[in-house]
Chains A and B, each alone.
Chain A
Amino acid sequence: MPGSNELEKALNTVKPANLKERVQKTSATLEDAIVRFVNVQKTYDSERLVVRNLSLNIARGEFLTLLGPSGSGKTTTLMMLAGFEPATHGEILLNGKSINRVPPDKRGIGMVFQNYALFPHMTVAENLAFPLQVRSMSKVEIKKRVNAALEMVELETLGNRRPAQLSGGQQQRVAVARALIFEPELVLMDEPLGALDKRLREQMQYEIKSLHDRLGVTIVYVTHDQSEALTMSDRVAVFNDGEIQQLSRPADLYEKPATAFVADFIGENNCLTGLLEDRGRNGICAVRLPNGQVVKASQVGELGDGNEIVLSVRPERVVLNPSRTADMSTLEATVDKLIYHGDHVRIRLTVAGQKPIVVKVANDGQGGAVMKGDVKRVGWLARDCRAFKRGAGR
């Protein structure tokens, strides 16, 4: 992805609130954006916006994942891009040209459906030949390409089978091969691995990713599985309620969530609430918990004075019996429950009269060191604890 670093940087740092501004700001570097959503809205019933004011640029060759809970508008976004649902407002551009009025078959976008949608009355080879036949390719050329595609997904011997005679994983591969066989620049995948068991899913993730690396196509991938999103993507767009909450590289998504929703949705998370005490300097602020204690946290976004604050800290970043250093906030907590996980132990503690927090401790074989009812000190570094304005981006 040459040249897309700048673009990424530009996109990552902008908050969802000023999407419009972002599009304009980054448009200079967008020569290599293959898809652009410009202020796209969608409603099915003219009452509720399923997609709100979506602006998004997809770089050529990138693997972009739309991640979000069920009903957050991911499929709708994908369907608008594929041409099966019209956008009720805004514009979608493919290679710089508006495709709002281009029918799906003229867009040249490959698509993998959740149930694969392999045509049951055709053999695997016929399924693969279909997109080539409708493009009036010669028989010889079709045969060559079908064989190459079968080879690509390692199903050389199964060309004459019907889809129903294949296992789930094999069907999945055929569906991917069929979406790629006419060499589209852009391939959309809507929860393509949702129906597979865990092992197969991990294998297919790997195969799809390596196909992406080999062929250099742009892939827009929809999933509600965060680990899938984190392992496969170049960038992830986290959706909630029809809005992009954050668009970042996977690592940033985990380390630097932009909203409380993202912090909660990606990975495990402990939540504490409080009021802003001091806006501080260098992005480190002080927050007063309801029991009067003050903790330090990295400030995310604009936090108004006296606002209600949500603090978020990952279980593995909470330290048990911390050493007292300047930027370590410590609290007293009562052990409520020990949960044994084999390689690690989770300790649930009640702290400062709030929802219990969980601490992840490596299993060092000394399981008896902590007992239920013990009063312990827990703490975390200010950079590991993020402070969000309550209610922002739900």
Chain B
Amino acid sequence: MTEAVLAADDHALLKTQLSSALRRQKLSAFLLVAPLLIFVTATFIYPIAGMLERSTYSPEFALEMPRTAAALAPWDGTDVPGDEVFEALALDFKDSKTRQATGRLANLVNVELPGARGLIMKIGRGVDRLQPPYREALVALDNDWSKPEIWQALYGLSKAYTSRFYIAALDLKINRQGEITTQPEDKRIFLPLFLRTFWIGALVTLCCLLFGFPVAYWLSVLPMRYANLLMILVLLPFWTSLLVRTTAWIVLLQNQGVINSLLVWTGAISDSNRLSLIFNSVGTIIAMTHILLPFMILPLYSVMKTVPFSYMRAARSLGANQYTAFIRVYLPQTKPGVAAGCLLVFILSLGYYITPALVGGESGTLISNMIAYQVQKSLNWGLAAALSSLLLVGVLLLYWAYNRLAKVDGFKLG
């Protein structure tokens, strides 16, 4: 085999040939992936990055009121700041008046300190008459300027990078001493909503599992012909508009709807206490269970299909009755499907928006509806971004926990 031994020159040549061949391979692989990569970056990664940025970065106030922002920077956040800050504020307002930005500023401050709109607009109207010393002039205009709340609000606004959206989203606040504390019970909005979202998500997941498991099992044992037919029935909801399905539930569940009428007609309930099945959390759970059911059935089915028949037979032959064999031998083997289905349904239900908006009423709305409200009505995009980011973190934590569990049990999603 002497021919096979290469000289040093040949080695170098071989190396360059190999690397150029590999480079060509890598390039073509990259070109194949490129369209998807660009698409995912533009439609997924970029918006999420934008959302995360918006939840912490809010330069509007600092841009409108540069002097105030600079003067507030060294403030320790307690009591009322020094004269130089009052002066900076007055001068900034004189500037902003010429740009007709007072209204925008008032909105900005009002989000931080509800009711502060009047305070700002008052300055706007009286800014021309403001004379030094500004502290006395402002306090004369409105005594609120001698209280720390408005200054804390402005201080919060003055920083371009801020945690205030997260503080608000977690139902926390900054007190007079500049410390972060929890809101009083009656003022908490978002945490209860988060809790409700997770609670309803868990209930929907449980319902999907209870209904989906027998169907998936049936699908997996049925002869191919019938299984295909049943599969079409399972998938049918996928091919109908979400809106149609949701409104169909309104027709069925409302006070004068099919189910209530039927119950009254059969005498199960009296006409005066018809069940309230919709425009509350019950309605949300029913409609979402229906819509998310295929996401439970499909992973379950795909796992059940792979569990050989002989395991159950082996268990029976070893003396286990049908019930024991099912619980101890069949059920554990469907665990990957159960876990995947539950994770899928739970995560999807956390972000559900249209269905709770249509059938949820007061007690059935979820965090996503609040996010939509902050984006569309209250125009507090920073808070909306913070809420969304918290939801995202929650989902990622769940996924992490699932994978930890899965690793212990020897199965994995993706």
Contacts and interface: CB of A to CB of B under 8 A. Distances in A.
Interface of A: 82-84, 103-105, 108-111, 113-115, 117-121, 130-131, 134-135, 178-179, 182
Contacts of A108: 319
Given A104-B316, A119-B315, A121-B335, 16 more contacts: A103-B316, A103-B321, A103-B322, A105-B316, A105-B321, A109-B317, A111-B313, A113-B313, A117-B313, A118-B314, A119-B311, A130-B328, A134-B321, A134-B324, A179-B317, A182-B318
B313 A84 contact: yes
Given A117-B308, A121-B332, A111 B319 contact: no
Contacts of B273: none
A108 B319 CA distance: 7
A114 B318 CA distance: 16
B310 A115 contact: yes
B48 interface: no
Contacts of A109: 317
B319 A134 contact: yes
A105 B325 CA distance: 10
Contacts of B332: 119, 121
Interface in B39-95: none
Contacts of A182: 318-319
A188 B379 CA distance: 74
A329 B373 CA distance: 104
A171 to B, nearest CB: 13
B333 A105 contact: no
A179 B319 CA distance: 10
A380 B42 CA distance: 87
A278 B317 CA distance: 55
B320 A134 contact: yes
A273 B127 CA distance: 124
Contact of B311 (A83, A105, A117, A179): A117
28 contacts: A82-B313, A84-B313, A103-B321, A103-B322, A104-B313, A105-B322, A109-B317, A110-B317, A110-B318, A111-B318, A113-B310, A113-B313, A115-B308, A117-B310, A117-B313, A118-B314, A119-B332, A119-B333, A121-B332, A121-B333, A130-B318, A130-B320, A131-B319, A134-B321, A134-B324, A135-B319, A178-B318, A182-B318
Nearest to B330: A119
A118 B314 CA distance: 8
Contacts of B335: 121
A117 B316 contact: no
Interface in B262-306: none
Contact of A111 (B308, B311, B317): B317
Interface of B: 308, 310-311, 313-322, 324-325, 328-329, 332-333, 335
Of all A-B residue pairs in the complex, the 8 with the closest CB atoms, nearest first, are A117-B314, A131-B318, A111-B317, A117-B310, A104-B316, A121-B332, A134-B320, A134-B319
A82 B317 CA distance: 7
Question: Which of B313, B314, B317, B333 has the most chain A CB atoms closer than 10 A to its own CB?
Answer: B317
Nearest to B335: A121
A113 B308 CA distance: 12
A135 B321 CA distance: 10
Contacts of B315: 119, 130
A109 B314 CA distance: 11
Nearest to A111: B317
B317 A104 contact: yes
B328 to A, nearest CB: 7
A360 B190 CA distance: 91
Contacts of B325: 105
B88 to A, nearest CB: 70
Contacts of A120: 333
Given A113-B310, A113-B314, A119 B329 contact: yes
Contacts of A83: 316
Contacts of A178: 318
A111 B333 CA distance: 21
A220 B402 CA distance: 46
A134 B318 contact: yes
A215 B329 CA distance: 28
Contacts of B328: 130
A105 B335 CA distance: 25
A104 B320 CA distance: 9
A387 to B, nearest CB: 44
A109 B316 CA distance: 10
A300 to B, nearest CB: 39
Contacts of B318: 105, 110-111, 130-131, 134, 178-179, 182
B259 to A, nearest CB: 41
A110 B314 CA distance: 9
Nearest to A181: B318
Contacts of A82: 313, 317
